[in-house]
Amino acid sequence: MTVRILIIDDDPRYHKVLARHIKSEWADAEVRAIRKTDRSADGPLIPDGVNPSDYHAVLLDRAPGGGDGLKYLRDFKRRPGFPPVIFIIDRGNELLAVEAIKAGAEDYLLREEINHDRFIASLRSAIRKHKRTSALLSRRQALDEACRFGAVKIRGHRFVRELGSGGISSVYLAEAGKDNSLVVLKVFRLVPEIAEAQNSFDRFIQEYQLISRIEHPNIVRIFDLGVADDHAYITMEYFKEGNLRAKMKRPLPAAKMLDYLRQIAGALTAIHEVGILHRDLKPANVMLREDESIALIDFGLAKQMTLDQEITGSGQIFGTPYYMSPEQGHAGQVDERSDIYSLGVMVFEMLSGEKPFTADTPMAVIYKHSNTPLPRLGGELSAYQELLDRMLAKAPHDRFQSAGDLLAYLDSQWPRQ
């Protein structure tokens, strides 16, 4: 390692004396001196192009350029990663040396009388301290970088990879806590001066408040809500098995469909009982656990039935057109029967491998939900036509009136084994 020392002093002859002492101990040492003529009258003490962190120690005169060395010293000590400072004083200014030590100087040096052994010992101590500090700073920077999720730094979590990004939030896989358990971080990009973003933020906070008070095996576990760098975030359960969409690349066995249907209906019963609508049921929002259980996620569009319309805005359409009920597609009044309709679309797709209504544009899909008859299932699947007719009825009053009614129907038609 090449020792690098920075001298801030106005006397070039003194620079040579200091350099001789340093190079007698470290022959390949690099010594750079900054004096008054090296900087403009109103410029900084350390000119542009000189990076103090490149040096192992700084030798600072008590009055560089006629200025206040103690003031400069205090400023240096506030800078992260600034190397240790040895303060240079004149004989008779020992009280100034005491002030320098209090201000954070590593040691002091008498200008008129340099004790070589003591000077080199001070430099060695400064170099060791700089190495330790640099290592800690590098580690801290590495940890800070590991805790960065996009533009946001979230302490206690380590970035693994980005899972997705939408209009109002980004989703990341992260390690959390001392056990490095995997969690999902959903980070909201808050732009509070924009009214639309504030409405989205309200829905984001509402997501946590609504879900966190529900304990149900088929609803995602929410661990925490926090704020970092003016961004809100939610920490939630991670599902390494992925979502239901991955299972629906081909039709599912009827028994598996009924299993998933019962679990999702049970989750809907739980959220509907506390006045929450999901409003965005689709395969991508149904996650799979290793034990074959499922859990609903992404309640970003959920809404308490008793909340004022000012949060979501009157006449706005939320959700995914393929799974959207006729009333939701036309921005009408929705209730729990709208979630049952969305679930019915998923049931049709699980059985047939196809969506019941498709078109080239979202509005054309919404039109079909309201006006096109439901396709009929043939063969053995016809046994589930009545179930689908009652879930996918155009008029809400012709559907199952609650998720509880749906579960009761399932138990009457296909009793649990």
Residues labelled catalytic: 280
CB within 8 Å of 375: residues ≥ 6 apart = 348, 352, 356
What are the structure tokens assigned to 381, written together? 């699947």
User: How far apart (Å, rounded) are the C-alpha atoms in residues 342 and 324?
Assistant: 6
277: left (phi over 0), alpha (psi -120 to 50) or beta: beta
φ, ψ for residue 342 (rounded to 5)?
A: -60, -40
Q: Compute the radius of gyration of the chain from its Cα atoms.
A: 34
> What are the Cα distances from residue 351, in Å, to 150, 246, 254, 262, 378?
40, 14, 7, 15, 11
84: left (phi over 0), alpha (psi -120 to 50) or beta: beta
CB within 8 Å of 319: residues ≥ 6 apart = 279, 280, 301, 328, 329, 342
The sign of the torsion formed by the CA atoms of 167, 362, 296, 266 equals positive
Buried b / exposed e along 120-151 (16+ C-beta atoms within 10 A): bebbeebbeebeebeeeeeeeeeeeeebebee
Buried b / exposed e along 212-223 (16+ C-beta atoms within 10 A): eebebebbbbbe
- Residue 19 class from Cβ within 10 Å (0-12 exposed, 13-18 middle, 19+ buried)? middle
Nearest to 209, CA basis, from 220, 196, 225 = 225
